[in-house]
Structure 1
Amino acid sequence: MLTLTVIVMVVLLLLGFPMLVPLLVASLMLLFLELDMNNVSLLMGQMISGVQSWALAAVPLFIFAADVMTRGHTSQRLLDLVQSFVGHLRGGLPITTAASCTLFGAVSGSTQATVVAMGGPMRPKLLEKGYSDSFTLALIINASDIALLIPPSIGMIIYGVVSGASIGNLFIAGILPGIMILLMFSLYCWAASIRMGIAPEPRSGWAIRWAAMKKAILPLGFPLVVVGGIYGGIFSPTEAAAIAVLYALVLEIVILRAVKISEIWDVALSTGLITAVVFILVAAGTAFTYTISFAGIPQAILGPVIEAIGDSQLLVLGLIAISFFIGCMFVDPIVVILILTPLFKPAVDAAGLDPVHVGVIVTLQAAIGSATPPFGCDIFTAMAIFRRPYFDVIKGTPPFIFILLLATALLIFFPQISLWLPSLSDS
Structure 2
Amino acid sequence: MTAFLLLGVFSVCVAIGTPIGTSMCLASICTLFTTGMGFAMVPYNYYASLSKFLLLAIPFFILSGNIMEKANISEKLINFAQSFVGHIKGGLGMVCVIVACFFAAISGSGPATVAALGSIVIPAMIAVGYKPGDASALMATAGGIGIIIPPSISFVVYTSLVGISTGTQFMAGVIPGLVMGAALVVASLWVTRKSDLKRLPKASAKVRALAFKDAFWGLMMPVIILGGIYGGIFTPTEAAAVSAVYGLFVGVCIYRTLRAKELLAVVIDSGRQAGAIMWNMGNAGLMAWVMTVSGISATITHLLESVVNGHTLVFLLIANILVLIAGCFIDGNSIMYIFVPIFMPIATALGVDLYHLGVVLVMNVAIGQVTPPVGCNLFVACGIGGIQVADIVRPVVPYIIASTIALLIVTLVPGVSTLLPTLLG
TM-score of the superposed pair, with normalisation by structure 2: 0.97
Q: What residue in structure 1 maps to residue 180 of structure 2? A: 181
Please say if 1:318 is aligned against 2:327: no
- Measured in 2, the distance between the counterparts of 1:210 and 1:411 equals 35
> Equivalent residue for 1:166?
165
- Which is worse superposed, 317-326 or 386-395? 386-395
1:240-389 aligned at under 5 Å gives the runs 240-389=239-388
Instruction: Using the TM superposition, give the Cα deviation of residue 148 of structure 1 relative to its aligned residue in structure 2, in angstroms.
Output: 0.6
SS class of match (1:22):
helix
Matched residue pairs, number? Answer: 424
Q: TM-score, normalised by structure 1?
A: 0.96
Aligned match of 2:28:
27
- Distance of 2:305 and 2:68 partners within structure 1: 44
Where in structure 1 are there 5+ consecutive unaligned residues?
Answer: none
Instruction: Name the % identity.
Output: 30
Deviations 1:362-398 (A, max 9, x none): 1101100011111111122223333321101222111
Distance 2:44 2:408 in 1: 39
* Letter matched to residue 12 of structure 2: V
Q: Secondary structure in 2 aligned to 1:286?
A: helix
d(CA) in 2 for partners of 1:305, 1:226: 38
Deviation of the 1:302 alpha carbon: 4.2
Q: Kindly indicate whether the alpha-carbon contact (under 8 Å) linking 2:97 and 2:142 is maintained by their aligned counterparts in 1.
A: yes
Q: Bigger shift: 227-236 or 336-345?
A: 227-236
Matched position secondary structure for 2:130: coil
1:118 maps to 117
Distance in 2 (alpha carbons) for counterparts of 1:353 and 1:381 = 35
Task: Tell me by how many angstroms 1:163 deviates.
Answer: 1.4
Aligned equivalents of 1:413, 1:91: Cα separation in 2:
30
Give the residue type in structure 2 aligned to 1:37: M
Structure 1 match to 2:13: 12
Match of 1:37 in 2: 37
Structure 2 counterpart SS, 1:331: coil
Q: Give the deviation of 1:6 after TM superposition.
A: 2.4
Deviation at 1:54, TM superposition (A): 0.4
Contact 1:106 1:147 in 2 (8 A): yes
2:201 aligns with: 202
- Work out whether residues 5 and 31 of structure 2, in 8 Å CA contact, stay in contact via their aligned partners in 1: no
Matched residues in 2 for 1:264 and 1:18: separation?
Answer: 29
1:199 Cα deviation from its structure 2 partner: 4.7
1:93 partnered with 2:97? no
**CA distance in 2 between partners of 1:190 and 1:20 (Å):** 38
What are structure 2's unaligned runs of at least 5 residues? none
Distance 1:329 1:16 in 2: 14
Q: Which amino acid aligns with 2:293?
A: F
Output the CA distance in 2 between the equivalents of 1:70 and 1:209: 22
CA distance in 2 between counterparts of 1:86 and 1:281 reads 40
Q: Compared with structure 1, are the counterparts of its residues 192 and 20 closer, same or farther at alpha carbon in structure 2 (3 Å cutoff)?
A: closer
> Comparing 118-127 with 73-82, which one deviates more in the overlay?
118-127
Instruction: Give secondary structure in 1 for the equivalent of 2:56.
Output: helix
- Given the alignment of the two structures, is residue 74 of structure 1 paired with residue 67 of structure 2, yes or no? no
Q: CA contact under 8 A between 1:232 and 1:425: conserved in structure 2?
A: no
- Contact 1:56–1:157 at 8 Å: present in 2 too? yes
Amino acid at match of 2:420: L
Is the contact made by 2:300 and 2:342 (CA closer than 8 Å) also made in structure 1?
Answer: no
Is this contact kept in 2: 1:382–1:393, CA < 8 A? no
Judge conservation of contact 2:159–2:166 (CA < 8 Å) in 1: yes
- Using the alignment, how far apart are the partners of 1:185 and 1:20 within structure 2? 31
Instruction: Please tell me whether the aligned partners of residues 54 and 160 of structure 2 are also in contact (alpha carbons under 8 angstroms).
Output: yes
